[in-house]
Amino acid sequence: MRDIENHVYRTAYYILGNEQDALDASQEALIRIYTKINSYEEKAQFKTWIQRIVTNICIDKFRRTKPVVSIEEHDMVFREKQDVEEEVLSAYAAKDIREAIDKLPDHHRAVVVLRYLQDFSYNEIADSLDLPLNTVKSYLFRARQQLQTLLHDYQKGGVRG
């Protein structure tokens, strides 16, 4: 059960980008999973059935509220014998990637999160989101293009400051 909770929370966090919203969505998803477990049909994998529930809850929640950008500072922990400059640049890159993903339309963000952050196959994404396989591929293609545009500074070797 702990694996399911972690999976649900991680998905919610990546889609919503906010810890409190992710906790709320996770709790709602887990309750729905528990109450609907009898309706689970073994047509789809259990993992994709759960993913569909949490993703739909997150998309609904995201549509109901305006996205809020967290200004909260994250502690950077530097390990001995590591290049501090590389750590700082990596932290900036991760923050910019997160912000770029947040700027994607809901349907593109969902497929990016499932593919690259949850490591779902195209078929699992299609099952989870109840989309045709070609639509998933199209969404991923367009999302990668949008991310490429949004992250243009990094492709050119630039650093934001």
Neighbours of 24 (CB within 10 A): 16
| More confident position, 116 or 158 | 116
Statement: the pTM of the whole predicted model exceeds 0.75? no
* Pairwise CA distance, residues 91 & 77, whole Å: 10
Structural domains present in the chain: 1-65 (1.10.1740), 73-160 (1.10.10.10)
Q: Are 7 and 53 in contact (CB under 8 A)?
A: no
pLDDT per residue over 18-73, tens digit each? 888 889 999 999 999 889 888 887 777 888 888 888 888 887 776 666 444 444 44
pLDDT of 30 reads 92
**Residue-level pLDDT at 136:** 94
Contact 98/17 with Cβ under 8 angstroms? yes
